[in-house]
Structure 1
Amino acid sequence: MLFFIVKGGIVMVPIILASIVGAGIIVDRFIVIRRVYRLDMQKFSRDVLDLVDKGKYREALVLCGQKKDYPLAAMYAAAIENRLLSRLELEKLLERMGNHAVKTLEKRLGGLVSVVGISPLMGFLGTITGLIRAFMAWEKAGNDVTVSALAGGIYEAMITTAAGLIVAIPYYLCYNYFISRIKYFSHELDDYCSQLLELLTRGKVL
């Protein structure tokens, strides 16, 4: 590995740094998203809705308080505590909280996108600088040029391109995975909160 890094030249440094930053973001987001899904939202929602349907708001708030670190529980608690508001006001309240929860999950994903975009570009830059080195060696050697004289530049050109793609491809797959999980989570929040709204606003006007 050290051989390839050395042969890749100076351009390998930002590629390696980008890969380290990207790996850190991936680990961080994986932990955060996994923590959110530790709550069985279907069971939790069913239990809270059952209490709300029976008018047991205090018990529902206690149940939400036990899971207060989870976005759905916090949103349910806020809606129940403000149940006297109009449906439109409750919808706006839950929408704000839902957007905040999604933004929290999306945090640092912009940095991951930057790593995905920059890595292959840095690889292509290494390709150009490597070819420049090779042609400069060729010009200097003239008719006496040898493969070994060109090898350094060619190594740099090929290795940096490969390194950039090796970083970008798996990181892009990770980014898509995170986005898909966040979208699914957002849809779940909308669905469960809509069910609570129906119970809290029965008979209410906008």
Structure 2
Amino acid sequence: MFTFLQLQTDTIASAASNVVIEKIAPNTEISVLGFILKGGFFLIPIAILLFYTFYVIIERYLYITKASKTDSKLIQEVGDKLNSGNIEMARIIVERNNTSAANILKEGVLVIGRPIAEIESNMDRAADIEIGEMERRLGHLGLIAGIAPTLGFVGTISGVIKIFYSISVTENISIGNISGGLYEKMISSGAGLIVGIIAYSAYHILNGKIDDFALKIQKQILEFVNIIQRA
């Protein structure tokens, strides 16, 4: 009799164990895309800002890298032609060099013969124009760095409002109901922060490249003025 009862007990325990395992071991895996899509409506504008951010970063990086190239031999060649009195050849040399530095030198070559202050001022204005061209659309990155995290935060807040509204209607205040809805809405905050960090970092990196160019071009202008004064 004891053996029979023990056998029944073991059978019931085994069955209960199987039921528990079946209940607690469902397949909870979710794809990365599926996880991201749970972030809600506000992920759409954040995604648009992300794609635009990458476009601006790539386009500006390629433009700035190309335009800010400086040839150490260029100013030497121009100086040699100016010292020999061949201003026309100096102009041809800077025109065939398609960089911002060459464009600034060209403005100086074109006004040779005028007072030094006027030549230097003309080159400074040309430098400001070239730097302004490099800075185009960089302000958009600064704007996105502020907008994207804000959009993510608004998405999370709207989700929290919906959760509490649902609780007020259904009176279901279970942890699963609250945490399940909350983690989905916090995805938008995380996405917004990531986009903001990318835009903020790119903004300062690209501006750093422009600042380096501005320093180099000021040295080049000074060198050009010294060449004219010695000629």
With normalisation by structure 1, the TM-score equals: 0.88
Return the offset for 1:130: 1.6
Alignment of 1:133-144 (within 5 A): 133-142=162-171, 144=172
Secondary structure of 1:8 counterpart: coil
Residue identity matched to 2:88: R
Separation in 1, partners of 2:132, 2:55: 19
Return the offset for 1:93: 0.8
- Structure 2 residue aligned with 1:15, among 46, 57, 63? 46
Give runs of ≥4 in structure 1 deviating > 4 Å. Answer: none
1:79 alignment counterpart:
108
2:91 alignment counterpart:
61
Tell me if structure 2 keeps the 8 A contact 1:130–1:153: yes
2:148 alignment counterpart:
119
Residue identity matched to 1:167: V
For the structure 1 residues 168 and 181, does the alpha-carbon distance in structure 2 shift closer, same or farther, using more than 3 Å as the test? Answer: same
Secondary structure of 1:145 counterpart: coil
Residue identity matched to 1:114: L
1:161 alignment counterpart:
189
Tell me if structure 2 keeps the 8 A contact 1:137–1:149: no
Tell me if structure 2 keeps the 8 A contact 1:127–1:157: yes
With normalisation by structure 2, the TM-score equals: 0.79
Return the offset for 1:62: 2.0
Q: RMSD between aligned alpha carbons?
A: 1.9
Return the offset for 1:45: 1.9
**1:97 aligned to 2:122?**
no
Higher relative contact order (CA 8 A, sep 6+): 1
Return the offset for 1:202: 4.5
1:177 alignment counterpart:
205
Return the offset for 1:172: 1.2
Return the offset for 1:170: 2.0
Figure out how many residues of one structure are paired with residues of the other and give that number.
200
2:59 alignment counterpart:
28
Return the offset for 1:99: 0.5
Gaps of 5+ in 1: none
Separation in 1, partners of 2:206, 2:79: 29
2:33 alignment counterpart:
2
Return the offset for 1:165: 1.0
**1:198 aligned to 2:229?**
no
Q: Identical aligned pairs, as a percentage?
A: 26
Separation in 1, partners of 2:43, 2:227: 59
Tell me if structure 2 keeps the 8 A contact 1:11–1:126: yes
Separation in 1, partners of 2:181, 2:116: 67
Gaps of 5+ in 2: 1-31
